[in-house]
Amino acid sequence: MIATIRQLTYALLMSWGEDTMLFGDFDIRTPSLNQCAPTALVVQDYLGGDMLRRMMDNGYSHYWNRLPDRQEIDLSADQLRSTGRLFVGPVIVRERAYVLSFPDTLNRYTILKQRVAEELASPSFGRLEA
């Protein structure tokens, strides 16, 4: 299935959980918190393009996507507003193989990918406008 950005946003919202987070306690008020790497991987699965990364002032990195049409989208951006973190350093393109070389990231991505696929395949998605 080819998904739209709107469909992916909804599917991710329904799919994020504590087991797809890098660390912390899952909070429904900011469900994308610590979910950026697996989220960017899933977005790349459906929409293609590049994964971008930039370091934050707390020493962690943040991932988002640049689509083939050069549009940048960040479906986990609300976590940045809730934490008040600042970016430092340059934006770089991160290769998929590198991001997936971390076993924890691979595991979180596998879980998220399966949940998103199930959401997109559910009958209710036929009612979402493209």
Does the pLDDT of residue 69 top 80, yes or no?
Answer: yes
Please state, rounded to an integer, the average pLDDT across all residues of the chain. 90
Does the pLDDT of residue 126 top 60, yes or no?
Answer: no
> Which residues have CB under 8 Å from 36's CB, separation 6+?
62, 63, 64, 74, 76, 79
In sign, the C-alpha dihedral spanning 113, 115, 119, 122 is positive
Structure confidence at residue 127 (pLDDT): 54
- For residue 63, give both structure tokens: 């991932």
Q: Looking up tokens 């977005």, which residue turns up?
A: 43
**pTM score over 0.85:** yes
